[in-house]
Amino acid sequence: MEIRGVHAKVGEFELGGIDLKVDEGKYFILLGPTGVGKTILLETLAGIHRVVRGQICIDSQDVTHLPPEERRISYVPQDYALFPNMNVRENIAFGLKMKKVTKSQIEDAVGKYANRLGIAHLLDRPPQQLSGGEKQRVALARALIIRPRLLLMDEPLAALDQATRRDFWVMLKEVQREFGVTFIHVTHDLEEAFILGERIGVFINGRIVQSGIKEEIYKRPSSLGVARFLGIKNIFRGIVQDMDLRKGVGRVTIKGKGLTFSFELKARLGAGDEVDFLIRPEEVMVIREGKPIKESLKGNIFEGEIRKIIERETHHTLLLTEVGQGVTFEVDIPNYVMRNLKLIENQRVKAALRRESLWIIPGKGG
73 lies in the site for other proteins, by CB under 8 A: yes
What is the smallest separation between the CB atom of 63 and other proteins, expressed in angstroms? 12
- In angstroms, how far is CA 362 from the centroid of its own chain? 20
Task: Report the residue number, 11 or 270, with the smaller CB distance to other proteins.
Answer: 11
**Out of 4, 14, 64, 94, the residue judged to bind other proteins by CB under 8 A:** 94
**Out of 23, 59, 69, 108, the residue judged to bind other proteins by CB under 8 A:** 69
98 lies in the site for other proteins, by CB under 8 A: yes
**Out of 8, 20, 32, 95, the residue judged to bind other proteins by CB under 8 A:** 95
What is the smallest separation between the CB atom of 78 and other proteins, expressed in angstroms? 8
Task: Report the residue number, 133 or 148, with the smaller CB distance to other proteins.
Answer: 148
Site for other proteins in 48-67 (CB under 8 A): 48, 67
What is the smallest separation between the CB atom of 197 and other proteins, expressed in angstroms? 22
Q: What are phi and psi of 202, to 5 degrees?
A: -95, 125
**# of chain residues touching other proteins (CB under 8 A):** 27
Q: Mention every residue, 6+ apart, whose C-beta is less than 8 A from residue 272.
A: 239, 240
SS3 category, 262: strand
Spatial separation of the C-alpha atoms in residues 133 and 98, rounded to whole Å: 26
State whether the Cα torsion 30-69-72-145 is positive or negative.
positive
Site for other proteins in 248-307 (CB under 8 A): none
DSSP secondary structure letter of residue 43: H
Spatial separation of the C-alpha atoms in residues 257 and 274, rounded to whole Å: 14
Cβ–Cβ under 8 Å, residues 28 and 22: yes
What is the smallest separation between the CB atom of 79 and other proteins, expressed in angstroms? 7
**Out of 81, 159, 209, 319, the residue judged to bind other proteins by CB under 8 A:** 81
Task: Report the residue number, 96 or 230, with the smaller CB distance to other proteins.
Answer: 96
Spatial separation of the C-alpha atoms in residues 84 and 356, rounded to whole Å: 54
117 lies in the site for other proteins, by CB under 8 A: no
99 lies in the site for other proteins, by CB under 8 A: yes
Task: Report the residue number, 143 or 202, with the smaller CB distance to other proteins.
Answer: 143
What is the smallest separation between the CB atom of 200 and other proteins, expressed in angstroms? 24
Spatial separation of the C-alpha atoms in residues 364 and 235, rounded to whole Å: 15
Q: Mention every residue, 6+ apart, whose C-beta is less than 8 A from residue 262.
A: 249, 250, 251, 252, 299, 300, 355, 358
CA distances from 99 to 48, 106, 207 (A): 20, 10, 35
What is the smallest separation between the CB atom of 106 and other proteins, expressed in angstroms? 13
Residue span binding other proteins (CB under 8 A) among the ranges 21-29, 39-47, 313-321, 346-354: 39-47
Nearest by Cα to 332 from 225, 234, 217: 234
The amino acid at 194: F
Task: Report the residue number, 127 or 304, with the smaller CB distance to other proteins.
Answer: 127
Spatial separation of the C-alpha atoms in residues 272 and 269, rounded to whole Å: 9
What is the smallest separation between the CB atom of 283 and other proteins, expressed in angstroms? 42
Residue span binding other proteins (CB under 8 A) among the ranges 55-63, 94-102, 208-216, 349-357: 94-102
43 lies in the site for other proteins, by CB under 8 A: yes
Spatial separation of the C-alpha atoms in residues 321 and 44, rounded to whole Å: 48
Residue 51, Cβ neighbours under 10 Å: how many?
Answer: 21
Spatial separation of the C-alpha atoms in residues 39 and 53, rounded to whole Å: 18
Spatial separation of the C-alpha atoms in residues 87 and 259, rounded to whole Å: 65
Site for other proteins in 140-179 (CB under 8 A): 142-143, 146, 148
Residue span binding other proteins (CB under 8 A) among the ranges 42-50, 56-64, 232-240, 301-309: 42-50
Residues near other proteins (CB under 8 A) are 11, 43, 46-48, 67-69, 71, 73-77, 79, 81, 83-85, 94-95, 98-99, 142-143, 146, 148
